[in-house]
Amino acid sequence: MPKAVGYSQYTTEKLETLQAFCGTLFHIEHGLISTRGDAHPEAILVDLNAGDGLAGGYPGSTLIMLREAIRQDLPFHLWACELEPVRADRLRERLIEYVRQCWAAFRAGPLVHVGGRCPTGCCPSCDPLTATAWVDLHVTVVPGDHNVTVETIVAEINQRVSPGRRVYGLVFGDGNGQLDFPITPLIRLSRHPRLWCTDILLYVNAAVIKRTRLGGRSEAGQRRGLGAYADTYLIDGGIDQIRKQYGMVRRPHGQQQWTFFALTNYAAFPKFRKHGFIDRDSEQGRRIIDGLNLAPTERPDGQLPFDFGPLIGPTPSTFGIPASEPSAPSSSSAAAASASAATEPERRRRIT
Ligand SMILES: C[S@@+](CC[C@H](N)C(=O)[O-])C[C@H]1O[C@@H](n2cnc3c(N)ncnc32)[C@H](O)[C@@H]1O
């Protein structure tokens, strides 16, 4: 089975973390939206790197966000950005297929009736076209470069949200593990006054940023055109420009130092300690951030201030893939993934 773009042995762990994050956050947001008179009546959800709906054969980020919103009965609108038009089309098809499967499984149940309303005004179980209408009502798949399309999303948010309303929601960023982490749209959305209450989750490969910066400073790297990256920093150059008062960093995992940043203006934001999140302003958080920012060769002691952390192996059963999911990995591929997870410590090596 071909694997989706961006799949690695850390993908399952990433998606489990996203699922847990959405589950908790959407539960809280559902409570806030239903009780606060000044709340915009739907959560604003943005997946800046949506992909084609599957990651390594499992539901990808957009499907997870959609599924958790439905599970928590959260009224929402979700924008799913994807650079590649073909992948964007595939994503929409998969969302429709997923909703159809939900309706087959939970015939006319409350699961898909956001806020108890049937948005299409008919019985969802009777007409497969209704799933298309439902998805198009709740999800806008946005093909193209999110650095550009973020302006369309901002315009649409401005149209939907009355001034003075608190807008709860989540923006998720998840680049390809290169220098493509979506910092520009995250900065833009974090500074939008109407999105003050909207939280941010970013998954990022910290090692590649350091490597590219160091490459950009070497003669060989400059010959390869990396000179433009000689001053690229994860923290100073990127995360710190996202305007949110509080933040947590996830302990980095693996040779690529895969990490999450959770950014919010809500002081009592859940801690997600079980998933390795640490307050960025704590001593440990500052040490991790320092290590994510600077390579060993840029540090006085030549050492990273953390190890790579345990690899949490894929646990496919927790994803609740419908048995009929045609692209779900076979048990042999899951076994292969577990086997490769087991050898990870052997592959660890020093990052430069
Ligand atoms: C790691 S994959 C995302 C996987 C997805 N979040 C999931 O969980 O299934 C990154 C995706 O971001 C898309 N992408 C990269 N740069 C982008 C950009 N500037 N605008 C929109 N999408 C982009 C890629 O085409 C790719 O599908």
- List helix spans (H) across 75-145: 85-105, 128-138
Q: How far is the CA of 49 from the centre of ligand 1 (A)?
A: 4
Is residue 75 in some structural domain?
yes
- Both tokens of 7, joined, read 């799949």
What pLDDT does 317 receive?
34
Is residue 61 in some structural domain?
yes
Coil, strand or helix at 153: helix
Type of residue numbered 168: Y
Is residue 352 in some structural domain?
no
Query: Alpha-carbon distance 250 to 279, whole Å?
Result: 9
- Between β-strands 198-205 and 246-250, what pairing exists: parallel, antiparallel or unpaired? unpaired
What pLDDT does 344 receive?
33
Coil, strand or helix at 178: coil
What pLDDT does 132 receive?
87
Query: Alpha-carbon distance 66 to 264, whole Å?
Result: 21
Of 8, 49, 94, the one to substitute when testing ligand 1's pocket (max ligand atoms within 8 A of C-beta) is 49
- Which residues fall within 8 angstroms of residue 12, CB to CB, at 6 or more apart? 56, 58, 313, 314, 315, 316, 319, 337
CA of residue 145 relative to chain centroid, distance: 16
- 259-270 burial string, b = 16+ CB within 10 Å, else e? bbbbbbbbeebb
Is residue 5 in some structural domain?
no
What pLDDT does 81 receive?
98
What pLDDT does 7 receive?
60
- Both tokens of 56, joined, read 């390594």
Q: How far is the CA of 83 from the centre of ligand 1 (A)?
A: 7
Q: How far is the CA of 50 from the centre of ligand 1 (A)?
A: 5
- Specify the number of domains making up the chain: 1
Is residue 2 in some structural domain?
no
Determine whether the shortest distance from the Cβ of 184 to ligand 1 is under 6 A: no
Is residue 3 in some structural domain?
no
Atom of ligand 1 nearest to the CA of 53: 9
Q: Check which CATH number belongs to the domain holding 90 and give it.
A: 3.40.50.150
* Domain of residue 318, residue span: 11-347
pLDDT tens for the 352 residues of the chain, in order: 344 445 667 888 999 999 999 999 999 999 999 999 999 999 999 999 999 999 988 899 999 999 999 889 899 999 999 999 999 999 999 999 888 877 666 554 444 444 444 444 444 444 555 788 889 999 999 999 999 999 999 999 999 999 999 999 999 999 887 778 899 999 999 999 999 999 999 999 998 888 888 888 889 888 888 888 888 888 877 888 999 999 999 999 988 899 999 999 999 999 999 999 999 999 999 989 988 998 888 888 887 777 665 544 333 333 333 323 323 333 333 333 333 333 333 322 222 2
Ordered DSSP codes for 232-283: --STTTTGGGS--SEEEEEPPBTTTTEEEEEEES-TT----GGGTEEETTSH
What pLDDT does 82 receive?
98
Of 67, 78, 176, 202, the one to substitute when testing ligand 1's pocket (max ligand atoms within 8 A of C-beta) is 176
**Please, are residues 1 and 333 in contact by the beta-carbon 8 Å criterion?**
yes
Is residue 175 in some structural domain?
yes
Alpha carbon nearest to ligand 1 atom 23, residue:
83
Is residue 338 in some structural domain?
yes
Largest CA distance in the chain: 67
Query: Alpha-carbon distance 322 to 108, whole Å?
Result: 18
- List helix spans (H) across the chain: 11-35, 61-71, 85-105, 128-138, 146-160, 183-190, 206-217, 219-223, 283-293, 331-342, 344-347
- Both tokens of 322, joined, read 């419908």
Query: Alpha-carbon distance 37 to 60, whole Å?
Result: 34
Determine whether the shortest distance from the Cβ of 254 to ligand 1 is under 6 A: no
